[in-house]
Structure 1
Amino acid sequence: MSLVEAEIKPRKSLFVLKTAKTLFGELDALVADQPANSTAARAIVLAHMRETLVAARADAEAELLATSKGIRCAQNLCNAEDEIISAIHLFATKRVYPVDNPSEAETLAVSAVGGYGRGTLAPGSDIDLLFILPYKQTPWGEQVTEYILYMLWDLGQKVGHAVRSVDECLRMARSDMTVRTATLEARFLTGDKTLFDQMVMRFETEIMAKTGPEFIAAKMAERDERHKMMGNTRYVVEPNIKDGKGGLRDLNTLYWIGKYFYQLKTSQQLVGKGVLSAREYRQFQRAEEFLWAVRCNLHFLTGRAEEKLTFDLQPEMAERLGYAKRVGMLGVERFMKRYFLVAKDVGDLTRIFCTSLEFNHAKDMDLVGRVFAPFRRGKVKIKGDADFVIDSGRLNIAKPDVFTKNPVNLIKMFLVAGREELLFHPDAIKQITRSLRLIDSKLRNDPKANNYFLSILTAPQSVERMLRQMNESGVLGKFVPEFGKIVALMQFNMYHHYTVDEHLIRAVGVMAEIANGGLRKELPLTHELLPQAQ
């Protein structure tokens, strides 16, 4: 099932889906009296399945262009694939390799795993299948499996597959985190459901129930490594929509952890668990919908599993998604600004989700020690400042009304965080976000607030980190409206690697590093002239 069960308004769909039963009937009629295991019959089956697949993809793309509904497109493609695979399985078991009285050894379950298992499929995505066989096997299971796989390969499908017994599924899932994640997302397609249900039940009781913290630690480490490989920023002007920071894989990670740790069946249950608020969940939905629309359009546009929004593709992508030119901004710049704002939302949700896990399940997290950074329990007062406290090793507000009673604290808190070298408590992050409306012209002209802001700007040890956190939280753009206008803005040329706001913050970071005595080899003249300019 999709990470987000998006609500779709009733309308006449452009997507026409044939069921496996209908397709099987059509195959029966087309093959007619020819032997089902003959080369001629196989060619007929292949031709009809290819025609069905091409039509389904065309319908899915037409509906995507008409509605811009990315999740619906991914679900349409997934549903079509389900019916095609089920029809091939039916033909294989009923006509090519029929068994009148099958024994327990002549059973087979076909399940979708990986992204396909979630119930969403991009046009260029792999089809990941798990064939579950009984403990005692006969040649029949191997024959049916081969028939299905060779048919899919001949259709031009990129198929990843595994053939295992239930015991082998569990043994592999215990030792391999990739297999464990794929098994977590397993979804029954066709065949003997008893085998599939047995595998799921044992996986949930024997593995999931005992390894929650271990799984979270692995997923967090995997995410950090992926971000590092992608440049560790969500503001590169040629982003990777799948694996980049703020992309679909980050949303998938939240889904995996939620399903594994909280035993959730749908993403909406994150609200019931108190991990996300209703507003944050709506933000979740909007982000996934947009990213899926981008990904499906990108695959259709390029005709392959392209995940990088390169410069040459961005203008046509903007056109496909309906971003026209406006005064002062190209359509492509409007589209990319929207992309980076969504990537920022994904980052906010990830931070909220992970810190909620850290603080609400600290005892469980300590079982693996390195799931999150170490933190101390309890509250510690900050000397000379009654508005903030160090709560479990992170900066928090002392009382819920700290910002409403004195909005200047919205700026002061970042100064304190930089000075004390502290990260923010999740409650503080939420309260800052909910208090952005308090940043008005009165606060912008407040002498204390401006003094605090200047102190942040002139603290070379922490300025880059605090400006980035102010920007991520939305405070910087509200407090400095001129900066707010360039948040997530890109200039469509080859000379910029990051969005405008990220460029400015990085420039400040370089200046701070120079002030701290760094970059002497790279910039010797700057270090020679700097003392004279002070």
Structure 2
Amino acid sequence: MTDGMVTRLTHTAVAGLTKADASAFESEMALVALGGYGRAELSPFSDVDLMFLYRPGARRGAEELCNRLVRDLWDAGLVLGSSLRTLVECVTLARRDLSVHTALLEGRHILGSSWLTGELRERIERLTRGRRADRFVEVMLLERAAEQARFGSSAHLLEPNLKLSKGGLRELHLIRWIAHVRYGVAGFDRLEQERLLSAEDAAMLAEAREFILRARNDLHFKAGRAQDVLTLHEQVRLAAAFGFRDRPGLLAVEQFMQRFYRHSSALEEVAERFVRRCRGSSLWRRLGRFLTQRRVNGQYVVTGGALAPVPEARPAVLSNLERLVSLFSLANQMGLEVDDSLWEQIRNAVSLLDGQDATAARRVFLAMLATPGHLDSTVRRLASLGVLEKLIPEFAHARGLIQFNQYHKYTVDEHTLLCVAHAEAFQDDPGPLGHAYRGIHHKEILHLALILHDLGKGFEDDHSALGYDIALRTADRFGLEAHLRDILVFLVRHHLLMAHLAFRRDTSDEQLLARFARSLDDVESRRARRALCPDHGKTDR
């Protein structure tokens, strides 16, 4: 529709030029769509970015055409972003300004000299050929990191920017730009055809794009202007517009936002995997990685700070839950990441592990939880790859689940993972909390309680009471001894007790404190409670 309007008004504007300037339009000038308009991804009130490209000898006619067309397009109601440039000016600006460079990468010919547009494309692509592509990708990633710092560096924000926050539409743009300079391919269909994206990742991108664009378009229509921030008020309205309805324990808006967070997390993860595969690596760096390889236990290899099974052992690891968890346990023990080349294979393999006995894998996981140091990154990776819910099935319900109020800043799964991170940080805390944490003999029970403590949310009944049942089932699945089961169940059932007393009761009441102390009937429970409670504010507010 926008192309049709631009085309009609351009023909009208060209007809108003002098005969010489009008005849020069087809050979000396070109109208080029840039940015979102160039990639055919306009929301209702997005800027329509147009560039008037011309040869130096056609400057007078280009200026006249630009003035006429900009006036007519504004009169027609378009929010216009326009520029008037020669080929040399385009290349000069692209060298200096990344936003100009990425906009020109997606330039699309509309009218005029197709040769001129083609020459522009050739010159812009020449800027990132060969090793120059590596530099371009690194600069682009730095710019994206700075953008996320301004608009939100988490895919679980309370009021996300649908375009610029982490997990927003910009992740799609990032994939397109990198694919363009690295492989000369931009469309997601082509990326899948060229095996640069797996079918699963391509499907996730398509579903996320459809959902987020629909929400963004609705925001624009409702506001009557460009509006990309998904406010709490708009979340309620959009939940109804998308057909969500309240159900016991879960509001319509919470269901809507859970769907959104799952899509934004998928965007974040696919973009992260794609970027890791595409980042350049020099010959010397690859040689250095090869020369510093070392084998561990005969079954694993450490390369460049990452752990992976040796090639001949990969099929066995990917097809067995215990071996898969053992890989992450060893990585945690050694302070390493599991090699990112395995992530996609693990994600695909996890769906094939349904029905496999998880008893041995749970023993390995529990032993890993007893060893702080790198639990934060390890447990987070297990969660993102879908492995954690094979060990604790109730975790699947918590993915992307939000409590719709001003108190909870994070989704339940993100809050849970942050709790583990904050607890683990007490290992190096010189204060009394660090002392209490280091004195816990069974840290695995504390960390397991942190993973479980909010998994009862999103249901009709009290989440602490439901957490009690979840903790009992988990204790049975993990084969915990009776006294460890009792500590786990107590911590989950009463995880709000200390916060409730601290903020809602008179802590100068000695009888109150005595009753509270008696409820913690052993030293291990008291230490665990002290480590469990203080992170409540840090992980929610």
Q: TM-score range by the shorter chain?
A: 0.7 to 0.9
Q: Distance in 2 between matches of 1:191 and 1:202?
A: 18
> Partners of 1:439 and 1:252 in 2: how far apart?
34
TM-score (normalizing by structure 2): 0.75
CA contact (8 A) 1:105 1:134 kept: no
Q: Which structure 2 residues correspond to residues 478-517 of structure 1 after superposition, within 5 A?
A: 478-517=390-429
Q: Given residue 333 of structure 2, which amino acid in structure 1 is its aligned partner?
A: R
1:363 paired to 2:282: yes
Q: Give the match for residue 394 of structure 1.
A: 306
Equivalent residues of 1:337, 1:488 under 8 A apart: yes
Match of 1:52 in 2: none
User: Are 1:95 and 2:7 an aligned pair?
Assistant: no
Counterpart-to-counterpart distance in 2, 1:285 and 1:528:
49
Which residue type is aligned with residue 320 of structure 1?
A
Q: Is the 8 A contact 2:25 2:113 kept in 1?
A: no
CA drift of 1:269 comes to 2.3
Q: Does 1:407 align with 2:321?
A: yes
Out of 367, 372, 379, which is 1:455 matched to?
367
Structure 2 residue aligned with 1:48:
none
What runs of 5+ residues in structure 1 fail to find an aligned partner?
A: 1-79
Partner of 2:149: 228
**Contact 2:38 / 2:107 at 8 angstroms: preserved in 1?**
yes
Question: Separation in 2 of the partners of 1:430 and 1:408?
Answer: 18
Cα drift, residue 339 of structure 1:
0.9
Distance 1:87 1:526, change over 3 A: same
**How far apart in 2 are the matches of 1:457 and 1:403?**
20
- 1:39-60, Cα deviation, whole Å (9 max, x unpaired): xxxxxxxxxxxxxxxxxxxxxx
Is 1:278 the counterpart of 2:199? The answer is yes
How far residue 227 of structure 1 moved from its aligned partner, in angstroms, is 2.5
Q: Distance in 2 between matches of 1:412 and 1:108?
A: 63
Q: Which residue of 2 aligns with 1:433?
A: 347
Give the counterpart letter for 1:415 in structure 2: S
Instruction: Give the stretch that moved more between structures: 231-240 or 122-131.
Output: 231-240
Sequence identity, in percent?
28
User: CA contact under 8 A between 2:321 and 2:356: conserved in structure 1?
Assistant: no
Change (3 A) 1:527 1:278: closer
Q: Is 1:309 aligned to 2:253, yes or no?
A: no
Match of 1:191 in 2: 112
Three-state SS of the structure 1 residue aligned to 2:159 is coil
Structure 1 position 454, deviation (Å): 2.1
Matched, 1:122 2:43: yes
Q: Cα gap change, 1:362/1:175 in structure 2, threshold over 3 Å: closer, same or farther?
A: same
Query: What do you get for the CA RMSD once the two structures are aligned?
Result: 2.7
Note closer, same or farther for the CA distance 1:188–1:485 as it changes in structure 2 (3 Å cut): same
| Residue correspondences, number | 439
Partners of 2:117 and 2:73 lie apart in 1 by 21
Contact 1:340 1:488 in 2 (8 A): yes
Q: Distance in 2 between matches of 1:274 and 1:308?
A: 34
Aligned to 1:377: 290
1:375–1:217 Cα change, 3 Å:
farther
Relative contact order (alpha carbons < 8 A, sep ≥ 6): 1 or 2 greater?
1
The residue number in structure 2 matching 1:352 is: 273
Whichever structure has more helix as a proportion of its residues is: 2
Q: Judging changes above 3 Å, is the alpha-carbon distance between structure 1 residues 138 and 401 closer, same or farther for their aligned structure 2 residues?
A: closer
Q: Is the 8 A contact 1:188 1:196 kept in 2?
A: yes
Pairwise CA distance, 1:527: 5.1
Is residue 104–residue 134 contact of structure 1 (8 Å, CA) maintained in 2? no
**Structure 1 residue 156, shift from structure 2 partner:** 4.2
- Return the alpha-carbon distance in structure 2 between the equivalents of residues 416 and 171 of structure 1: 51
Counterpart pick for 2:33 among 109, 112, 122: 112
Q: Distance in 2 between matches of 1:152 and 1:388?
A: 63
Partner residue, 1:288: 209
Contact 1:397 1:428 in 2 (8 A): no
Aligned to 1:172: 93
Matching residue within 122, 125, 145 for 1:201? 122
Following TM superposition, by how much is the alpha carbon of 1:379 offset from its aligned partner in structure 2, in angstroms? Answer: 7.7
8 A contact 1:174–1:207 mirrored in 2: no
SS in structure 2 opposite 1:312? helix
CA contact (8 A) 2:178 2:278 kept: no
CA contact (8 A) 1:355 1:426 kept: yes
What's the CA shift for 1:380?
3.3
Structure 1 counterpart of 2:330, from 413, 416, 428: 416
Give the secondary structure class of the aligned counterpart of 2:307: strand
Change (3 A) 1:103 1:243: closer
SS, match of residue 243 in structure 2: coil
TM-score (normalizing by structure 1): 0.76
Q: Which residue of 2 aligns with 1:445?
A: 359
2:384 matched to 1:472? Answer: yes
Do the aligned partners of residues 333 and 98 (structure 1) sit closer, same or farther apart at CA in structure 2, a change above 3 Å counting? farther
Distance in 1 (CA, whole Å) between partners of 2:26 and 2:187 is: 34
2:175 to 244, 254, 259: 254
Aligned mates of 1:256, 1:375 — CA distance in 2? 29
Q: What does 1:321-360 correspond to in 2, within 5 Å?
A: 321-358=242-279
- Offset, 1:388: 2.5
- What SS class does the counterpart of residue 110 from structure 1 fall into? strand
Verify the 8 A CA contact 2:26 2:112 in the aligned structure 1. no
* Cα deviation digits, residues 476-500 of structure 1 (max 9, x gap): 1222112221111011111110101
CA distance in 2, matches of 1:314, 1:178: 30
- Is residue 457–residue 463 contact of structure 1 (8 Å, CA) maintained in 2? yes
CA distance in 1, matches of 2:347, 2:142: 27
Letter in 1 for 2:167: G
Distance 2:36 2:292 in 1: 42
Q: What's the CA shift for 1:209? A: 5.5
Aligned mate of 1:153, from 74, 98, 115: 74
* 3-state secondary structure, aligned to 2:136: helix
> Amino acid of the residue matched to residue 268 of structure 2?
G
Q: Is the Cα contact below 8 Å between 2:245 and 2:251 reproduced in 1?
A: yes
| Unaligned residue ranges in structure 2 (runs of 5+) | 440-522, 528-541
Question: 2 CA distance for matches of 1:178 and 1:451?
Answer: 51
Distance 1:379 1:281 in 2: 35
Task: Specify the SS of the correspondent of 1:122.
Answer: coil
Number of the residue aligned with 2:517: none
What is the SS of the residue equivalent to 1:162? strand
**Equivalences for residues 63-102 of structure 1 within 5 A:** 80-95=1-16, 97-99=18-20, 102=23
Cα distance between partner residues in 1 of 2:320 and 2:86: 63
Cα-to-partner distance string for 1:370-429 (whole Å, 9 max, x where unaligned): xxx99723683443x333222444221222322356420221122122222222323321
